[in-house]
């Protein structure tokens, strides 16, 4: 087995390698002066089972091209099987036609990864589960729920006060799974999205008065939804509001919104490499999913069950 890292999240790739007690494959993944991507694998990979770790986060197009070129290089080097390990799958929010003459970009990215030569995909907490069906190759969608639930238990010992909150109706299934693990109640925020990146809380379904609320979502981008939901729950009588989110995109003015919001803290995983701004924020805490991804990689390499990780 070989583990190859792109440049999008070297810290996570090294942590996965440490978990597996496996060195990262020696390779050059760099840019020419005109910003074209160049890849050279500096080890023999013929007949090997190779896992390429690369999140397609910002800059999404650059990181996606790195992944595709790494896969192509491995294909031409006669790797036996190539697994694209994408902790964060970019373009996942473009999973359907939202209007006339618009693309389904998530399907396009799935086609590109497959055509480049990947035999399998390993990703985490897809924005919509049906994206797995966009790939014509086996695709494992890891759920971070066990990791996040364990962290919540360590920080919120009085579970009777807890209430897990879905920031929109579309995330109810995700939030319910976490609430079931923690034996906590569930609430739902009814919101209206006037435009991309702008949302308005219309109603809170569930009684959050005197409860410690935890917002649970897959992606925090502009942070407008989370901050508005936190403010609404504080006004409804919640004693405190925190947020647990798998992928911390945190683009634009997201950091300013989080720092000025009613959120006690925002907990994100390291599926996306942390920016300097987020590292300096006292409200943002990161937990690692390297053991989860590393164990999934080990199980795939050994032809063992991955779904048992979530039993």
Q: Check whether the bond before 193 is cis (ω within 30° of 0).
A: no
Is 26 known to be catalytic?
no
Which pairing describes strands 27-31 and 37-41: parallel, antiparallel, or unpaired?
A: antiparallel
- Of 247, 191, 246, nearest to 224 by C-alpha is 191
C-alpha dist (Å) from residue 17 to 14, 187, 306? 5, 39, 18
CA 279 to chain centre: 18
The first and second tokens of residue 122, run together, are 């390993």
If one counts every other C-beta atom within 10 angstroms of the C-beta of residue 54, the result is 26
- Of 182, 180, 119, 128, nearest to 155 by C-alpha is 182
* Choice among 191, 235, 264, 283 that is catalytic: 191
Active site residues: 191
């Amino acid at each position: 087995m070989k583990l190859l890292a792109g440049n999008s999240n070297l810290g996570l790739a090294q942590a996965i390698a440490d978990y597996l007690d496996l060195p990262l494959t020696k390779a050059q993944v760099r840019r020419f002066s005109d910003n074209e991507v160049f890849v050279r694998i500096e080890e023999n990979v013929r007949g090997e089972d190779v896992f390429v770790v690369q999140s397609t986060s910002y800059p999404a197009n650059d990181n996606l091209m790195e992944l595709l070129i790494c896969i192509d290089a491995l294909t031409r080097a006669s790797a036996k099987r190539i697994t694209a390990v994408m902790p964060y799958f970019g373009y996942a929010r473009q999973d359907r036609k939202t209007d006339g003459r618009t693309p389904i970009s998530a399907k396009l990215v799935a086609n590109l990864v497959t055509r480049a030569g990947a035999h399998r995909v390993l990703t985490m907490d897809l924005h919509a589960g049906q994206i797995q069906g966009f790939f014509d190759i086996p695709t494992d969608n890891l759920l971070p729920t066990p990791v996040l639930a364990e962290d919540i238990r360590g920080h919120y010992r009085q579970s009777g006060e807890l209430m897990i909150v879905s920031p929109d109706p579309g995330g109810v299934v995700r939030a319910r799974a976490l609430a079931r693990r923690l034996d906590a109640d569930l609430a739902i925020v009814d919101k209206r999205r006037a435009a991309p990146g702008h949302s308005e809380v219309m109603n809170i379904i569930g009684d959050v008065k005197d409860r410690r609320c935890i917002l649970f979502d897959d992606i925090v981008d502009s942070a407008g939804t989370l901050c508005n939901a936190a403010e609404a729950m504080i006004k409804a009588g919640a004693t405190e509001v925190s947020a647990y989110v798998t992928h911390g995109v945190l683009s634009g003015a997201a950091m300013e919104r989080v720092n000025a919001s009613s959120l006690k803290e925002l907990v994100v995983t390291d599926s996306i490499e942390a920016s300097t701004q987020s590292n300096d924020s006292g409200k943002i805490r990161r937990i690692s999913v390297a053991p989860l991804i590393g164990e999934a990689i080990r199980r795939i390499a050994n032809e063992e069950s991955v779904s048992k990780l979530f039993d």
